[in-house]
């Protein structure tokens, strides 16, 4: 494996940066996203050796090449042991076999019952190490469609060297998701309910980062998956699950409920560094910008329609820029132009011959609200298993891929279950007339007082609010 990796911006303005630079910067100064200048790769024999490792050991093995020399393998392992030993399942990311070659990967055993915990817990430790070493403070600004915000506030609350501000769309997250953010009353932790949708929240975050004077003035950092280091821990559960169902001797397919494109991009990254993945199935709800893109090569923004899977109510998948960078052969000038066109006109397109680079790996499906209810109902009746509405989209998309024979019936398919069903009790009750029980700590949380501020979607106001509330 390579000894340390440098990073560059997808838009060409920065290069030769190290791990710590991209961790604390979040977004590149030219508005682009960071990517490795070169990719490490694991051999077939190394993958076989990984089968013997615990989840934490595997995480350290996979992430260290991207992080060293800033942190050694032992330092990364120490962080992983600290965070994953506190997850509620001994396997950390357990697999449930539904039938031959069809599995569900449970990614909701962290503190906020969502897959974001796997990365956010690591990110908070990584920030603390870097800031302490450099005797720095940071102001973190993030946008959430539901689960990122609660995972971030839970991970970063109470940190003396970090002030964290999370923007969430007013009235457009589930009651449980909102409570998980707004019960927190620690100094330096702020939940802001913004009168817009998630895309509007995300646009405010990007505008703040693109104001370089403001960014430098308050030491602004990011925890959304625009931050490269947020993606790294998500690669791990692709390896962990694939190795349990036959990899590296057997190719594996994954079905991923997808909104902001970060989680499925982590799967693409896993393949890039050696995991034998045959297919990545992209499941969308009725806000199906990604499904439309993979089917016709046109990325076109439309209005966001509220759905039963609110964390995926997104029309601007910010992480897609990283895949676009690779599709366009790392041509930063082209990427910059396409992203400018998309921001200005809400549309760009990729030629058919260029789309061939991804069409043999990605397939995409849209699952409607009614289909989501049917999938939850059928899965409960057939397997006595309750899916949350987002996980139902992943599972339903896997079913469609099998029905269309996109994937061989002999290929193991792992469908990612990204949140605990108790976070969306009303949708579950609508589907199966059962209200899933909240874990005890969430029952207490649901009757707690809320601490948050409702604000308009005014970037100038939010910048001033951050400067006013940040601790010196």
Indicate which residues carry an active-site annotation.
Answer: 116
Q: Which of 78, 83, 176, 130 is nearest to 426 (CA)?
A: 176
Q: Which of 274, 275, 269, 284 is nearest to 323 (CA)?
A: 269
Rounded-to-integer distance, Cα 336 and Cα 172, Å: 31
- Name 230's Cβ contacts closer than 8 Å, sequence gap at least 6: 119, 120, 123, 223, 224, 262
CB atoms within 10 A of CB 402: 19
Q: Please, are residues 208 and 220 in contact by the beta-carbon 8 Å criterion?
A: yes
Alpha helices in 158-260 (DSSP H): 175-182, 198-210, 212-218, 228-244
For residue 365, what are the β-bridge partners? 283
Q: Rounded to whole angstroms, what are the CA distances from 301 to 67, 316, 339, 344, 384?
A: 35, 7, 12, 11, 38
Alpha helices in 51-146 (DSSP H): 55-67, 73-84, 116-134
Backbone angles phi, psi at 286, to 5 degrees: -65, -15
- Name 411's Cβ contacts closer than 8 Å, sequence gap at least 6: 101, 250, 251, 252, 253, 278, 279
């Amino acid at each position: 494996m390579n000894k340390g990796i440098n990073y560059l911006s997808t838009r060409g303005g920065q290069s030769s940066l190290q791990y710590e630079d991209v961790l604390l910067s979040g977004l590149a100064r030219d508005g682009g996203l960071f990517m490795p200048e070169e990719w490490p790769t694991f051999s077939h024999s190394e993958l076989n050796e990984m089968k013997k490792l615990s989840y934490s050991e595997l995480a350290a093995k996979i992430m260290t090449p991207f992080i060293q020399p800033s942190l050694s393998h032992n330092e990364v392992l120490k962080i992983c042991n600290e965070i994953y030993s506190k997850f509620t399942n001994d396997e950390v990311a357990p697999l449930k076999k539904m039938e031959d070659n069809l599995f569900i990967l449970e990614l909701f055993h962290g503190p906020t019952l969502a897959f974001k915990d796997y990365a956010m817990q690591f990110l908070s430790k990584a920030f603390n190490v870097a800031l302490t070493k450099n005797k720095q403070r940071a102001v973190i600004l993030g946008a959430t469609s539901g689960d990122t915000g609660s995972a971030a506030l839970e991970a970063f609350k109470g940190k003396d060297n970090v002030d964290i501000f999370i923007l969430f769309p007013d009235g457009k997250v589930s009651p449980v998701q909102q409570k998980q953010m707004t019960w927190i009353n620690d100094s330096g932790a702020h939940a802001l309910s913004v009168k817009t949708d998630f895309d509007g929240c995300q646009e405010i975050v990007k505008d703040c980062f693109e104001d370089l004077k403001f960014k430098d003035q308050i030491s602004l950092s990011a925890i959304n998956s625009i931050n490269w280091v947020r993606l790294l821990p998500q690669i791990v559960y692709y390896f962990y699950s694939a190795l349990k169902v036959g990899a590296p001797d057997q190719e594996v397919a994954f079905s991923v409920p997808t909104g902001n494109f970060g989680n499925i991009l982590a799967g693409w990254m896993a393949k890039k560094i050696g995991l034998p993945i045959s297919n990545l199935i992209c499941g969308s709800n009725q806000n199906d910008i990604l499904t439309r893109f993979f089917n016709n090569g046109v990325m076109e923004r439309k209005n966001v329609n509220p759905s039963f899977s609110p964390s995926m109510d997104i029309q601007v998948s910010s992480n897609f820029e990283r895949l676009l960078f690779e599709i366009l052969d790392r041509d930063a000038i082209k990427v910059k132009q396409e992203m400018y066109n998309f921001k200005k006109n809400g549309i760009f397109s990729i030629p058919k011959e260029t789309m061939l680079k991804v069409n043999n790996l990605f397939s995409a499906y849209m699952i409607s609200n009614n289909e989501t209810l049917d999938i939850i109902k059928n899965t409960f009746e057939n397997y006595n298993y309750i899916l949350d509405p987002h996980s139902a989209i992943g599972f339903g998309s896997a079913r469609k891929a099998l029905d269309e024979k996109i994937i061989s019936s002999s290929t193991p398919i792992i469908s990612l279950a990204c949140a605990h069903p108790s976070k969306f009790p009303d949708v579950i009750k609508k589907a199966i007339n059962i209200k899933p029980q909240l874990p005890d700590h969430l029952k207490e949380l649901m009757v707690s007082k809320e601490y948050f501020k409702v604000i308009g979607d005014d970037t100038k106001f939010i910048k001033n609010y951050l400067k006013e509330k940040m601790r010196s």
